[in-house]
Amino acid sequence: MEAHLSVQSLKGSLVIGGVGILLAGHCTLEALNAIKHADIVFSVMGDELMQQWLEDLNPNTESLQYLYKTSHSRPEAYRAMVDKILAAVRQGLHVCVVFYGHPGVFVTPSHAAIKLARAEGYEALMLPGVSAEDCLTADLGVDPGRFGCQSYEAHHFVTTMPAIETRAALILWQIAVVGDASFTRFDACPEALETLSSVLQAHYPADHLVTVYAAATLPTMAPEIEVVKLADLAGVSVSQASTLYVPPLRKQGRPERAEPF
Ligand SMILES: C[S@@+](CC[C@H](N)C(=O)[O-])C[C@H]1O[C@@H](n2cnc3c(N)ncnc32)[C@H](O)[C@@H]1O
């Protein structure tokens, strides 16, 4: 398995990797290595082509995606994933679990599995991957270091209303499921963007231009970039892959920060 894990012992081990957003193109060499050499690979992909590509790399790959369908809520699905992963580690297998994007960015079961495996005395490691935010930075041409950048899960943002710095950028994830307090929805809520738009209008003017973004997942695709006024956000069609970018609010006459990095 991966070089970071000190021993190819009889004891099980866990590596959690991410394959990025773009099929095959974003997978790091260390993640590729971990996938190829694992006794078993568990995957949470949601994309058939990505799943097929993984199975070609390691035929002993099992998708855990079905747990979203057999569970009553997302938290229940996450618990079931952790149970499956840990059961294999306890059997003495070198387990690799693969998520799309970065496996530690807005992914509950990856952190939970690592924590539990370590608590039980197994070696467990997370490998970084290319996240949707990394793609957004590149595709929208925005530097999170220029004015600062805040990042929230959209439902959490709407329900907890954290203090935000409007002079810095704001990225909201999972905008399709805002308003799902029961955590039982796996598809887009039609009323989600209406709620989000009104919450954001407490901080930004109605004509502030925001971007609904979806990175390309195939080399033949282009990223989806839709720029709309905040007041018109509810009219945009979104999917599970949509992320909202809210640019910094520029105060009238306030100069842009001059120093380049
Ligand atoms: C559960 S999070 C997983 C994030 C993933 N671990 C990552 O590193 O990007 C799911 C959210 O990621 C964002 N996302 C996933 N795929 C995306 C894509 N192709 N383009 C833009 N954002 C995406 C969306 O906000 C989506 O609701």
pLDDT per residue rounded down to tens, the chain (261 residues) = 444 555 456 799 999 999 999 999 999 999 999 999 999 999 999 889 999 999 999 999 999 999 999 999 999 999 999 999 999 999 999 999 999 999 999 999 999 999 999 999 999 999 999 999 999 999 999 999 999 999 999 999 999 999 999 999 999 999 998 876 656 655 556 688 899 999 999 999 999 999 999 999 999 999 999 999 999 999 999 999 999 999 999 875 554 554 666
Regarding the beta carbon of 17 and ligand 1, being less than 6 Å apart is answered: no
Structure tokens at 147: 């004015």
Residues 6+ apart with CB under 8 A from 242: 175, 176, 212, 213, 214
User: b/e map of 178-192 (b: 16 or more CB within 10 Å)?
Assistant: bbbeeeebbebbeeb
Question: Rounded to an integer, what distance in angstroms lies between the CA atom of residue 112 and that of residue 157?
Answer: 22
Which residues pair with residue 153 across a beta bridge?
173
Tell me if 11 sits within 8 A of 92, measured CB to CB.
Answer: yes
d(CA 92, CA 40) in angstroms, rounded, equals 11
Question: Which residue is catalytic, options 66, 74, 122, 152?
Answer: 74
Give the whole-angstrom CA distance, residue 115 versus residue 102. 17
Considering the candidates 66, 78, 79, 257, report the single residue annotated as catalytic: 78
Minimal-distance CA residue to ligand 1 atom 1: 106
Q: Which two tokens stand for residue 93?
A: 């297998």
